[in-house]
């Protein structure tokens, strides 16, 4: 809702502007609305990322057309790879072109320092469940100096920005979660998570042959500290998920499931990788409660599961469709 509100507000405020600028590696909460706007005649310009998931700022600058671009939107930290976008630089470019700049910061808030006052960001979306708040509550930061129109009209709640009875319990929960997240950041959470993530990746790469990191593995600062997306060559990702789930390790393929079939990750493919690699990739995420002991146990469990799959499901033998 926050992402949709940001996009729709910009298009309503600037109906004469028909260009939307974004990237090929956005979350579906941005990509799917953009597909809809495209079907109604908008020019949606999706800028590429490279094999490591790095965003092309030069292409972004060239896509911005003063007086014609309604809004530009970039994900701050990719939800699948954890790659961080150059948000401050992109926001500056958007301002120079006279266009609004929005960022989907759902993955970033609570894990990475953010100061909207110094960022040049026009609109920023966040979701409570990503920082230990209740599910179903989020927020949209709106710079007070920009034009804005609400998505919902009615009772005029939330200063006429979102009509409807407020979810008071959710709002209080999000506020408390934000307070605790700010405290954790001040106490060095990013460094602790980076240490755990690097420990996990080092353990996996040393114990399993051929594993590669999806993202810039040479620059740990370029990725969100709690996210690790790994490619396991010759392993069916869904089969691995099933074995790990049974062993008590939670992870994700980073792709959408529909009608019983797992689609290869759109983000991994947008980076220039094959569908086979996308299907053999798995995302692991850490929380502020994760411990070194859990990391070491997870490495052992993953290595055992991958070894088992490489024996019983060699490359090209097919994919798991259902656990039943």
| Active site residues per annotation | 257
Q: What is the DSSP letter of 86?
A: -
Q: Which H or E run contains 102?
A: strand 100-104
End-to-end CA distance of the chain: 35
Rounded CA separation 4/227 (Å): 25
Strands 281-285 and 227-231: antiparallel
Q: What is the DSSP letter of 131?
A: G
The angle at the Cα of 137, spanning 72 to 254, to the nearest 5 degrees, equals 65
3-state secondary structure of 10: helix
CA 322 to chain centre: 26
Whether residue 124 contacts residue 94, with contact meaning beta carbons closer than 8 Å, is answered with no
């Amino acid at each position: 809702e926050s992402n949709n509100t940001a996009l729709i507000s910009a298009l309503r405020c600037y109906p004469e502007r028909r260009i939307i600028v974004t990237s090929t590696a956005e979350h579906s909460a941005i990509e799917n609305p953009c597909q809809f706007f495209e079907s109604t005649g908008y020019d949606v310009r999706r800028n590429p990322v490279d094999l490591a998931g790095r965003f092309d700022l030069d292409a972004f600058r060239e896509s911005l057309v003063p007086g014609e671009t309604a809004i530009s939107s970039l994900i701050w930290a990719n939800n699948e790879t954890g790659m961080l976008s150059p948000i401050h630089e992109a926001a500056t470019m958007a301002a120079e072109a006279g266009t609004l700049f929005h960022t989907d910061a759902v993955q970033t808030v609570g894990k990475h320092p953010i100061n909207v006052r110094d960022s040049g960001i026009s609109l920023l979306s966040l979701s409570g469940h990503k920082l230990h708040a209740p599910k179903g509550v989020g927020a949209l930061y709106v710079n007070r100096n920009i034009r804005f129109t609400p998505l919902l009209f009615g009772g005029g709640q939330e200063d006429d920005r979102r009509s409807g009875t407020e979810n008071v319990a959710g709002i209080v929960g999000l506020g408390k979660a934000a307070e605790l997240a700010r405290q954790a950041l001040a106490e060095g959470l990013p460094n602790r998570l980076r240490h755990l993530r690097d420990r996990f990746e080092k353990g996996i790469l040393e114990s399993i042959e051929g594993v590669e990191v999806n993202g810039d593995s040479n620059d740990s600062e370029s990725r969100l500290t709690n996210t690790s997306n790994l490619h396991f060559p010759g392993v069916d990702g869904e089969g691995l998920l099933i074995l790990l789930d049974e062993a008590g390790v939670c992870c994700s393929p980073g792709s959408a499931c529909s009608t019983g079939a797992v689609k290869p990750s759109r983000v991994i493919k947008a980076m220039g990788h094959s569908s086979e690699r996308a299907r053999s990739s798995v995302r692991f995420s850490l929380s502020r409660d994760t411990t070194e002991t859990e990391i070491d146990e997870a490495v052992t469990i993953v290595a055992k599961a991958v070894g088992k799959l490489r024996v019983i499901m060699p490359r090209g033998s097919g994919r798991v469709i259902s656990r039943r």
